[in-house]
Every structure is written in structure tokens, then in C-alpha cells.
């Protein structure tokens, strides 16, 4: 028996769409990160991008448990003195709801070059519609 090593040419990618309405942010992000990396496939290899595309809709309706809406803070630093911006989760949801999901998923990926390629397969939209109907995305699998 020989082991087959996946490469970029042999990977077949599918598109998934998930509705984030009334889903808990952290639990949603772990499922999305698993599919983006390809860990749900039997051909997973940690050094190859074997993951699928994920389209998240209704990002502005994702749930946060407990007091996180007021207590959770998001930091952005411009690199200049006095350039630190601190926003609560409620402010981020109002200004840029896609950022909450993108940042949660990005934090669950490894910090390397491959993760920067993997995060580009995540498409997040605040509303209920998306421009990826041509790719015929399937409903998100419940077992992942």
C-alpha cells in the first residue's frame, strides 16, 4: 500500500453556504475553520490547502453569549503612536458585522503562509444574499 499525498491539482473544492442567524459566534467559527482547512476530508494534509469555500450570510445576526455584546473588545492598531482603536462587539456589529466572523475564524487557523491562503476562501456577508450563486453552494453540513 502506498500513501497518496494530496497536491493543489488533485483537490476538488466545493462551495458551502451557511446562515449565521441565531448561531453562536465561536461554535460557528470552529466549524467554518475546519471546512476551510479541509480537516473534514479523508485527504487532509497539514501542508496542503485541501479545504472548501465557505460563504457566510446574515453575519450581522450572529449571537454572542453572556455579556459579550458589551464586554468583548476588538482592537485595531495602525502602527503609529496613539493609533490603537478599541471597539466593543456591539460597535463592530454596527459598523462592520463581517469582521466579527472573519476575525474569529482567522484566530482559529494556524499563523503561517498557508493560513493566509485558506482565509481567502472565506466569504462573509452581513445581509441575506451573496453574489456566489454561480458556484452553486450547498447547504453547510451539520456533521462538521
Phi-psi region of 98 (alpha: psi -120 to 50; beta: other; left: phi over 0): alpha
Per the structure, the complete domain to which residue 113 belongs is given by 15-139
pTM of the predicted structure, to 2 decimals:
0.91
Does residue 8 belong to any structural domain of this protein?
Answer: no
Judge whether 110 lies within some domain: yes
137, 15 in Cβ contact below 8 A? yes
* Cα of 94 vs its chain's centroid, Å: 19
Q: Which three cell numbers stand for residue 37?
A: 482547512
DSSP 3-state percent helix, strand, coil across the chain (nearest 5): 35, 20, 45
Number of structural domains the chain divides into: 1
Give the pLDDT confidence of 100-115 residue by residue, as tens digits. Answer: 999 999 999 999 999 9
Tell me what the pLDDT averaged over the chain comes to.
Answer: 93
| Mean of pLDDT values over 25-45 | 94
Output the furthest CA–CA distance in the chain (Å, rounded): 60
In a domain, residue 133? The reply is yes
Q: How confident is the model at residue 17 (pLDDT cuts 50, 70, 90)?
A: very high
Per residue, what are the HEC states of 51-63? Answer: CCEEEEECHHHCE
Is 3 domain-assigned? no
- CA dist., res. 140 & res. 18, Å (int): 5
Which CATH number do you get for residue 114? Answer: 3.90.1180.10
Amino acid at each position: 500500500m502506498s500513501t497518496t499525498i494530496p497536491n493543489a491539482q488533485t483537490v476538488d473544492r466545493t462551495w458551502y453556504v451557511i446562515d449565521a442567524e441565531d448561531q453562536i459566534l465561536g461554535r460557528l467559527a470552529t466549524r467554518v475553520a475546519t471546512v476551510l482547512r479541509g480537516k473534514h476530508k479523508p485527504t487532509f494534509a497539514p501542508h496542503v490547502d485541501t479545504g472548501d469555500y465557505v460563504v457566510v450570510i446574515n453575519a450581522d445576526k450572529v449571537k454572542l453569549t453572556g455579556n459579550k455584546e458589551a464586554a468583548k473588545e476588538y482592537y485595531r492598531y495602525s502602527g503609529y503612536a496613539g493609533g490603537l482603536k478599541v471597539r466593543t462587539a456591539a460597535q463592530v456589529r454596527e459598523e462592520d458585522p463581517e469582521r466579527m466572523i472573519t476575525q474569529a475564524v482567522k484566530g482559529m487557523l494556524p499563523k503561517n503562509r498557508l493560513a493566509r491562503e485558506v482565509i481567502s476562501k472565506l466569504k462573509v456577508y452581513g445581509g441575506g444574499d451573496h453574489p456566489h450563486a454561480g458556484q452553486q453552494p450547498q447547504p453547510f453540513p451539520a456533521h462538521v
